[in-house]
Amino acid sequence: MLTWDLAAHLGIAFSWLALAVVGMSLGSRRLSRMNAASGALILLVAVVVRMLMLPLPSTLSDDIQRYLWDGKVASSGLNPYRFEPNAPEVRQLRDEAWERLPHRQVPTVYPPLALAVFSASTHFPMSAFALKALLTLFDLATCWLLLVLARAVGLPISRVVWYAWNPLVTLEVAGMGHVDALGVACMVLLAVCLSRRPKWFAGAALAAAGGVLAKLVPLLGFPTWARQSGRPVLFFSIAIGIAAMALVPVAVSSGGVPAGLVAFGVSWEFNGPIYEPLWRFIDRLEIPFAVSRLLDLLKIETGNHDLWNQLYPFNYPQLLAKLLLGIALVAALGVGFARRLPLAGMLWIFGSLVLFSATVYPWYLLWILPWAALTGNRAWLVASATVILSYIPQFTEVALFPWIYLAVWLPPLLVWTRHRWSSD
């Protein structure tokens, strides 16, 4: 098996990925000029490029190590939502891989369907390779479903190339083994079902529930998809019912919201497109100081010191920025609710989730790329090429902000701005 370490050769890796982006662009252009682009050819190349990535060790991200650990805990009959890797209850499961686990003090954040896939892969001798192969199959299913969807809505199938041959997709799924491929496959299946509404509303609801049970983020799209399904009440009944049957036991066994999710929401932050400059701007304006003065006044006016004292620990720039972004996300999802077309709705929902997130790792863009590919959204397609640069701070002493951050997000912003001007 190939053991070439991408993390140790970032320059070569970036050069190869840049060439792959050029090849993808040329391939898409060539296919778009053909009278009848071949779906079989698109899938064949998609298979080949993923086969080249599969043997690579997952050195750019250590998520797969955590996947396998959580699957191992679940397979042993213990509850990974209760017991973090450092817990004494799972001491007997520790091995050499345990030493390399990320965030050993935090219980798992992955929903039951993802855990089921992790658990299944642990029963194979080469569990990491088995998990990557399984996720790659889901990713290839996404490529096929995108061809189906493109034909269903009357779009050129050559646009599927922007996902099927995308270096970011092949790197993060076949190479690094990210479980997002499972959720993305569910979302594309959902869009296929919505394109045949209302006849396939039940399939759409099942796919939506599957996406939530792979990663929780699609839950925010339920209102929009219910409306688009043509049978909103039945859609909600099926999707929420199935998701609840799997998630309620998790909440009960965890005593509420799993601790891992709380830690992720409060503590995680990296490369958020709006978040990174926003919290620094809040800090520069000394808004936390103003909030503290306001709390002081409220204590004096109300005489209830205990109540207002509880808020001081939450008064810091990063959390204030997250609160503002949460409000903006709710507003954006409200606007997206009015979008009737599934592709536009999907792009709006997942684009908003990434834009207003405090944490954006490269593989998070996988949720956006199917819709960016089919709609021809150049800004997000450019972002899929530049977001790779956000690996630099993780393996060098170069800070993310401001230069790497600008290298990642400025090109997509310029492309979007130019498109807006040309459209006007």
pLDDT tens-digit map of 195-221: 988 889 999 999 999 999 999 999 999
Is residue 132 within 8 Å of residue 64, measured between CB atoms?
yes
- What pLDDT score was predicted for residue 424? 46
Average pLDDT over residues 35-53: 89
HEC per residue, 350-417: HHHHHHCCCECCHHHHHHCHHHHHHHCCHHHHHHHHHHHHHHHHHHCCCCHHHHHHHHHHHHHHHHHH
Residue type, 371: W
In degrees, rounded to 5, the angle at the alpha carbon of residue 327 between the alpha carbons of residues 322 and 332 is: 120
Ramachandran region of residue 271, left (φ > 0), alpha (ψ -120 to 50) or beta?
Answer: left
pLDDT band at 341 (very low <50, low <70, confident <90, very high): confident
Instruction: List phi, psi (to 5°) of 269.
Output: -165, 130
Judge residue 374's burial from the number of C-beta atoms within 10 Å of its C-beta, 0-12 exposed, 13-18 middle, 19 or more buried. buried
List the beta bridge partners of residue 359.
270, 271
For residues 180 and 187, what is the distance between their CA atoms, to the nearest angstrom?
A: 11
Q: How far apart are CA 246 and CA 211, in angstroms?
A: 12
Domain map of the chain by residue range?
7-268+359-376, 269-358, 377-424
Average pLDDT over residues 325-346: 89
Q: What is the pTM of this model?
A: 0.94
402 preceded by a cis bond (ω within 30 of 0):
yes
CB 71 within 8 A of CB 121: yes
Cα gap 50→27, rounded to integer Å: 16
Q: What is the structure's pLDDT at 259?
A: 76
List Cα–Cα distances, 333 to 217, 232, 368, 386, in angstroms: 13, 17, 15, 26
Q: In whole numbers, what is the pLDDT of the chain averaged over residues?
A: 92
DSSP-derived secondary structure for 24-73: HHHHHHHHHHSSS--HHHHHHHHHHHHHHHTTS---S--HHHHHHHHHHH
pLDDT of residue 256: 79
CA angle 332, 334, 335 (to 5 degrees): 65
Q: Is the pLDDT of residue 423 over 90?
A: no
What sign does the CA torsion over 371, 375, 376, 378 have? negative
- The pLDDT tens digits of the residues spanning 170-201 come to 999 999 999 999 999 999 999 999 998 888 99
Maximum pairwise Cα distance, the chain:
76
97-106, 121-130, 331-340, range with greatest mean pLDDT:
121-130
Q: Residues 69-84: pLDDT tens digits?
A: 999 999 999 999 999 9
Mean pLDDT (whole number) for 129-144: 98
Q: Which whole number is the average pLDDT over 229-240?
A: 94
Look at residue 121 and tell me whether its pLDDT is greater than 60.
yes
Would you place residue 36 in the very low, low, confident or very high pLDDT band (cuts 50, 70, 90)?
Answer: low
CA–CA dist 346, 353 (Å, integer): 11
Of the candidates 192, 193, 212, 182, the residue with the CA atom closest to the CA atom of residue 374: 192
What pLDDT digit, counting tens, does each position of 256-278 carry? 787 778 777 778 899 999 999 99
- The answer, yes or no, to whether the previous bond of 198 is cis (omega within 30 of 0) is yes
Going by C-alpha positions, the residue among 74, 97, 180 that lies closest to residue 135 is 180
Give 211-229 as a DSSP string. HHHH-SGGGGGHHHHHHHH
**β partners of residue 271:** 359
Helices (H), 255-313: 259-267, 275-284, 287-302, 305-309
Q: Is the pLDDT of residue 51 over 50?
A: yes
